[in-house]
Amino acid sequence: MKRFFKSLLAKYILIILIAIFLIQAAYFIIIFVFFNLIEDIDSPEDGQYSFSEIEEKWHQEASAIVSEEDVIQLFEEWQEVYPNASMFWVNEDGVLDIQSNLQENVPDQWDAAYTAEFLKRHYNNDPFTVVAFAGENEEDGFIVFQLERDVMKSLGQHLFDQYSWAIVTLTLGVVFIFIFLSLWFFRGIRKRLVYLQEAMEIRDTDGLPILIEEKKQDEIGDLEKAFNQMVQELRESREREQEEEQLRKELIANLSHDLRTPLTKINAQAYTLQKMDLPEEAKRSLKLASTSIEDVDKLIENLMSYTLLMASKYKKELKDLDMARFLRQYLATWYPVFEKEGFDVDVDIESFEQNIWEVDALWFSRILDNILQNVLRHAGDGKYIAVRTESTDQHDAIVITDKGKWMQTGSEQKGAGIGLSIVDMMVKGMYLDWEIDSTEQGTTIKIIRVKRVNN
């Protein structure tokens, strides 16, 4: 129950109840002021009668008239009670004889037609009109009593007519107060929801949303709390993932080191056996075994390098390097290897306009090693490799081209994928770029340095 009273639903119900209470209070005030504080406001003044009583009384007293003095006395008595009333007597000859406070323009001589028209015009109309025969005989004429209907209204009716606008104003005021409170209520809800939405879009340094302040214990507060719990769970999950990733990398590094030791021993034994006097078939088998051992060793080395790069633990030191000179010296060590395998080697190294590259020489050597090893192992059918330099207005590049199909035979690329992954990470780690284009006619790889624009 305590939680319900803190909810948004309870607050809105309270607003509705306040609006209902204000409407009831407004009408109660009107009734109390206009109908209770004024004593007997709905009763006629002292000595006055209602319209039906006036009509009955007028006929009764008119029947008792026997002379003109009686008419005059009757008019005077009624004038004291009803000062605003109009009274007149039309005698037996149809002549307007006696009048009192006459306000309507009536003729001095009355005939039957005008009398009928007068009665029709004033029947149930304003002013309230009563026509009664004077005396007991109809030949004695008739007397007329007229009174504005507003005069007979009670004080309460007058006040109601005068201040009815107050009722409408109070009602509209309560409605506008309810609308204002509702808008204020929903504006607060919208503001909190927008804040929550903006908080969801903000990211911390680890790429996860940030925690938000839990302001109130209502439905939106529950949503904020659930959001914070989700963020906390994401952080814990990220930490567990990083710990598992670190353990995996350490395991791979340790296994790589442990596997290379027995491989080195096996390779040494194979080399010893190759020097012995063995049949040619046995020597060919030992050579293939030795080659496979070297391939496995390279794969393990690549795996360890990839793991170190992913963990950002592969040492890098960027220094200025004369790239053209470095390439000539580096390719000189690989030339005998390709020549031994029967490759046609085409080298065209020209100095760049900006010949000094800021790179790590060991990293760059590893990049070229991986590329050239892949060419040697997987593009041997083309028996061709070319290394040249290229310069444009936008960049300088080292271009390595072969005529093999190693990029078109994915299932036969033993270890080519991880080697190229290492190339990608090392190239981008030195703020360079690279492209690879492979067709049935061969593969071209470019290592690119974008030229700096001197202002």
Q: What is the CA radius of gyration of the chain?
A: 57
Q: Which two tokens stand for residue 172?
A: 């509209």
What is the C-alpha to C-alpha distance for residues 444 and 399, in angstroms, rounded to an integer? Answer: 7
pLDDT number for residue 407: 58
pLDDT number for residue 380: 80
Q: Report pLDDT digits (tens) over 288-320.
A: 777 777 767 677 777 666 676 766 667 788 899
- Mean pLDDT of the region 388-396: 91
User: Would you place residue 399 in the very low, low, confident or very high pLDDT band (cuts 50, 70, 90)?
Assistant: very high
Q: Report pLDDT digits (tens) over 51-66.
A: 888 888 988 888 888 7
Q: Which two tokens stand for residue 240?
A: 């567990």
Instruction: Please check the confidence at residue 445 and state whether its pLDDT lies above 90.
Output: yes
What is the C-alpha to C-alpha distance for residues 175 and 353, in angstroms, rounded to an integer? Answer: 81
What is the C-alpha to C-alpha distance for residues 337 and 67, in angstroms, rounded to an integer? Answer: 158
What is the C-alpha to C-alpha distance for residues 298 and 370, in angstroms, rounded to an integer? Answer: 9
Tell me the percentage of the chain whose pLDDT exceeds 70.
Answer: 79
What do you get for the CA distance between the two ends of the chain, in Å?
72
- Mean pLDDT of the region 119-137: 86
**Residue type for position 151:** V
User: Would you place residue 145 in the very low, low, confident or very high pLDDT band (cuts 50, 70, 90)?
Assistant: very high
Q: Which of 420, 300, 310, 429 is nearest to 362 (CA)?
A: 429
pLDDT number for residue 439: 85
pLDDT number for residue 347: 92
Q: Which two tokens stand for residue 88?
A: 């007149």
Q: How many CB atoms lie within 10 A of CB 242?
A: 11
Q: Report pLDDT digits (tens) over 219-262.
A: 777 888 888 888 888 888 888 888 887 777 677 666 666 666 67
Contacts of 194 (CB under 8 A, 6+ apart): none
Instruction: Please check the confidence at residue 411 and state whether its pLDDT lies above 70.
Output: no
Instruction: Please check the confidence at residue 22 and state whether its pLDDT lies above 80.
Output: no
Residue 285 near residue 404, CB atoms below 8 Å: no
pLDDT number for residue 389: 93
Average pLDDT, the chain: 79
Q: Which helix (H) or strand (E) holds 389?
A: strand 384-391
Structure letter (DSSP) for residue 452:
P
pLDDT number for residue 30: 65
User: Would you place residue 325 in the very low, low, confident or very high pLDDT band (cuts 50, 70, 90)?
Assistant: very high
Which one has a higher pLDDT value, 79 or 186?
Answer: 79
Q: Which two tokens stand for residue 102?
A: 């006459």
Instruction: Please check the confidence at residue 415 and state whether its pLDDT lies above 60.
Output: no
User: Would you place residue 7 in the very low, low, confident or very high pLDDT band (cuts 50, 70, 90)?
Assistant: low
Q: How far is CA 302 from the centre of its chain?
A: 48
Q: Which of 348, 396, 397, 336 is nearest to 372 (CA)?
A: 336
Three-class secondary structure assignment of 191-260: HHHHHHHHHHHCECCCCCECCCCCCCCCHHHHHHHHHHHHHHHHHHHHHHHHHHHHHHHHHHHHHHHHHH
Instruction: Please check the confidence at residue 397 and state whether its pLDDT lies above 90.
Output: yes
Enter the pTM of the model: 0.43
Instruction: Please check the confidence at residue 43 and state whether its pLDDT lies above 50.
Output: no
User: Would you place residue 47 in the very low, low, confident or very high pLDDT band (cuts 50, 70, 90)?
Assistant: low
- Mean pLDDT of the region 326-330: 91
pLDDT number for residue 282: 78
Structure letter (DSSP) for residue 48:
-
- Mean pLDDT of the region 54-83: 87
Q: Which helix (H) or strand (E) holds 307?
A: helix 280-310
Query: What per-residue string of b and e applies to 17-56 under the rule 16 or more CB within 10 Å gives b?
Result: eebeebbeebeeebeeebeeeeeebeeeeeeeeeeeebbe
Q: How far is CA 389 from the centre of its chain?
A: 54
pLDDT number for residue 31: 66
Tell me the percentage of the chain whose pLDDT exceeds 90.
Answer: 13
Torsion angle of C-alpha atoms 103, 109, 113, 118, degrees rounded to 10: 10
Q: Which of 304, 295, 293, 300 is nearest to 259 (CA)?
A: 300
What is the C-alpha to C-alpha distance for residues 276 and 152, in angstroms, rounded to an integer? Answer: 145
- Mean pLDDT of the region 99-124: 87
What phi, psi does 191 have (nearest 5°)? Answer: -60, -45
pLDDT number for residue 356: 92
What is the C-alpha to C-alpha distance for residues 83 and 444, in angstroms, rounded to an integer? Answer: 122
